[in-house]
Structure 1
Amino acid sequence: MADTASDIFAALAHPTRRQILQDLKDGELAAGEIAAKFSASGPTISRHLGVLRQAGLVSERRDANRILYSLVADNLALSVGDFLSTVCPEQIVLREVRKKRAPKAASASEATA
């Protein structure tokens, strides 16, 4: 079985793939719409999409003759978060501090409403 974190970081290594992920953050796009944003050939973009799909960063679904891609943000967030927690334990502490602040911020906004 492949190492998921390694697959994700390998997928993130190429700027075109990072741009594809950014383009998908606002919602689903057809393969042709994604390819149209780049000067690379369709087959090259298709290979990039395949790497992202293999890493679990995008999902695809068919709609008639179109292939639609969407971001799987949870996989990216969990893998990068786990890695950062391992190499930078301060991230765990910062995450806990943010969790504690979030309810206070929500309470303050409710009080002013």
Structure 2
Amino acid sequence: MQKRGKKTAAAGRNEKLEQKIFQALAAAPRRSILRHLAASSLTAGEIASHFTMAKPSISQHLAILEGAGLVSREKRGQFVHYALAQKVLEPCLAGFLQDVGIADRAPPAPPEDEKQAEPRAKGTARSASTERTAPTEPADMDAGNAEKPAPAQMSMF
């Protein structure tokens, strides 16, 4: 049996971490949770208010994200606040893009019809040919996020 060197062991740990990260990113609800946490830290209840799934399911998704190192948690009083761990996600994704060979490439040029389009003034409508639609939200997202009030939190003070 051969002994593994320090570099080989470190590479193995990095591969395992990358595998955990990509497994965590594979599920649409977890990617949605990360989108919400990109804006600010949230409690589990605040995260759950954005979804129609049960709270134990949200907790399970948070545990997977935390296990992959994508989310950190901090206890503040009786609440646990979750935050996006950008220092883990960014190097992993940048390393992946480099491994695939597209990190050093220039971004793709916009289609010809968008290059020639006049810059529009704020508040003017776009033509149908240049209109870009936002990616659709996962089915488990609540459609009325904007109208929902923030969940009330009890305070001991």
Q: What are structure 2's unaligned runs of at least 5 residues? A: 1-12, 107-157
- Rounded to whole Å, the distance in 2 between the matches of 1:27 and 1:36 is 15
Gaps of 5+ in 1: 95-113
> What is the aligned-residue RMSD (CA, Å)?
1.7
Summarize deviations over 1:15-50 as a string: whole Å, max 9, x none.
Answer: 000000000111110110001111111110000000
Which structure has the larger Rg?
A: 2
Residues paired across the two proteins, number = 94
Could you report, residue by residue, the CA deviation over 1:65-86 in whole angstroms, capped at 9, with x for unpaired residues? 1110000112111001101101
Alignment-derived partner of residue 91 in structure 2: 78
**1:51-105 CA distance string (max 9 Å, x none):** 00000001001112111000011211100110110111x41355xxxxxxxxxxx
- Mapping for residues 1-113 of structure 1, pairs under 5 Å: 3-88=16-101, 90-92=102-104, 94=106
Q: Stretches of 4+ moved more than 4 A in 1?
A: none
What is the TM-score normalised by the length of structure 2?
0.56
Q: Which amino acid aligns with 2:59?
A: S
TM-score (norm 1): 0.77
The structure in which a higher percent of residues are helix is 1
